[in-house]
Amino acid sequence: MTVDLAVAWLGIQMDNPLINASGVMCRTVEELEALRHSAAGALITKSCTLEPRKGNPEPRYASTALGSINSMGLPNAGYRYYLDYARRYDHEHDKPLLMSVSGMSLEDNLEMMAAFDEAALPVLVELNLSCPNLPGKPQIGYDFEASARLLAEVSKVYRRPFGVKLPPYFDPVHFGEMADVLDGCPSIGFVTCINSIGNGLVIDLERESVVIRPKDGLGGIGGDYVLPTALANVREFARRLPGRHVIGCGGIRSGREAFMHILAGATVVQVGTCLYEEGPACLTRIRDELVCLMQDKGYRTLADFRGCLRTL
């Protein structure tokens, strides 16, 4: 049986639903080009700031038995670098390009979003409300009133649909409050669920030590650990925001997890820890595993099962 993984959403066409998670293999032009030549259906840039940042001190990433912990601190080349890349990109003939923005202040976000609006490039912009690894900087996604104000101001300077990357939520009340914020902003075209679970702690028992340097060892948790939380967020926002798209992110290391995210309501999915550990070849494997799983289940397209998760 022939399986078609193609997906069309918000004016872009993808051969398959796989994208890198912003922050993984997307900091430099060389990394972005490697993704462009991979099996990814689209690619997204590193979350950018107004000016270049070196990020937090090393070591700031560690593998674990069930995933990873990181406190990268938004190392990036500054938004002009990624905007220049987007200007040179062959949007007509190549896979879609998404851009991630994570300003250190409201003013920074407005300046960058205004620049992207003025450039009028055929890209989708993801506004990051959820970086948990900046010492002294809270995640704005946990402040619903501040998030509403930010989105209202951004919508004044960026006049096309854009998306937001959200932190994980753990209570139905909070799902509802953030859904109300997003529903009140007509410019929101998609939400990405989830960023890493912030401020976890991994201990090396042999050394009796933390494993990363920033924040005395606290960092964002990714990989297998976060899959159930990610799926819950995808399902809740998919059904609370009808007509908007959800990007699933968290715990995807095979075709099985990609299928689960789509079954929960994701339009497309982002791969983070697995891509960091294995490199772009994992995208080919995950894509092929997803095809085999769909064939086994008798599904020809992603739409055949997207959002069709059963309850008991």
* pLDDT at residue 132 in the model: 87
**Strands 61-64 vs 67-70: parallel, antiparallel or unpaired:** antiparallel
Question: Which residues fall within 8 angstroms of residue 250, CB to CB, at 6 or more apart?
Answer: 168, 193, 194, 196, 222, 226, 227, 229, 230, 231, 233, 272
| Residue 67 labeled ligand binder | no
Asked if residue 44 lies in contact with residue 17, where contact means CB atoms within 8 angstroms, the answer is no
- Residues β-bridged to residue 240: none
- Match 């406190």 to its residue by tokens: 71
Query: From the CB of residue 142, how many other CB atoms can be counted at a distance below 10 Å?
Result: 18
Angstrom distance (rounded) from CA 214 to CA 67: 18
Query: Residue 238: helix, strand or coil by DSSP?
Result: helix
Averaged pLDDT score across all residues of the chain:
97
Query: Residue 125: helix, strand or coil by DSSP?
Result: strand
Mean pLDDT, residues 154-168 taken together: 98
Query: From the CB of residue 129, how many other CB atoms can be counted at a distance below 10 Å?
Result: 25
Q: Of 40, 20, 42, 31, whose CA–CA distance to 76 is shortest?
A: 31
Amino acid at position 252, single letter = I
Asked if residue 53 lies in contact with residue 74, where contact means CB atoms within 8 angstroms, the answer is yes
| Residue 11 labeled ligand binder | no
| Residue 217 labeled ligand binder | no
pTM here? Answer: 0.98
Active-site residue, selected from the candidate residues 26, 48, 131, 282:
131
Query: Residue 199: helix, strand or coil by DSSP?
Result: strand
| Residue 74 labeled ligand binder | yes
Question: Which residues fall within 8 angstroms of residue 174, CB to CB, at 6 or more apart?
Answer: none
* pLDDT at residue 69 in the model: 98
Query: Residue 256: helix, strand or coil by DSSP?
Result: helix
Whether residue 136 has pLDDT greater than 90: no
Cis peptide before 59 (omega within 30 of 0): yes
The DSSP element (H or E) to which 184 belongs, if any, is: none
| Residue 307 labeled ligand binder | no
Angstrom distance (rounded) from CA 43 to CA 36: 7
Query: Residue 52: helix, strand or coil by DSSP?
Result: coil
Q: Identify the weakest region by mean pLDDT among 26-30, 51-55, 137-141.
A: 137-141
* pLDDT at residue 79 in the model: 98
Query: Residue 202: helix, strand or coil by DSSP?
Result: coil
* pLDDT at residue 96 in the model: 98
Question: Which residues fall within 8 angstroms of residue 66, CB to CB, at 6 or more apart?
Answer: 223, 224, 225
Mean pLDDT, residues 185-194 taken together: 98
| Residue 68 labeled ligand binder | no
Mean pLDDT, residues 183-208 taken together: 98
CATH architecture of 7-55+74-199+223-304: Alpha-Beta Barrel (3.20)
| Residue 312 labeled ligand binder | no
Band (137; pLDDT cuts 50, 70, 90): confident
In tens, the pLDDT along 214-258 reads: 999 999 999 999 999 999 999 999 999 999 999 999 999 999 999
Angstrom distance (rounded) from CA 280 to CA 135: 30
| Residue 72 labeled ligand binder | yes
* pLDDT at residue 133 in the model: 87
Asked if residue 188 lies in contact with residue 244, where contact means CB atoms within 8 angstroms, the answer is yes
In tens, the pLDDT along 202-214 reads: 999 999 999 999 9
- Residues β-bridged to residue 48: 101
Look up 249 and say whether it is catalytic: no
**Residue extents of the structural domains in the chain:** 7-55+74-199+223-304
Mean pLDDT, residues 151-178 taken together: 98
Question: Which residues fall within 8 angstroms of residue 117, CB to CB, at 6 or more apart?
Answer: 157, 158, 159, 160
In tens, the pLDDT along 143-152 reads: 999 999 999 9
In tens, the pLDDT along 270-311 reads: 999 999 999 999 999 999 999 999 999 999 999 999 999 999
Amino acid at position 32, single letter = L
Query: Residue 180: helix, strand or coil by DSSP?
Result: helix
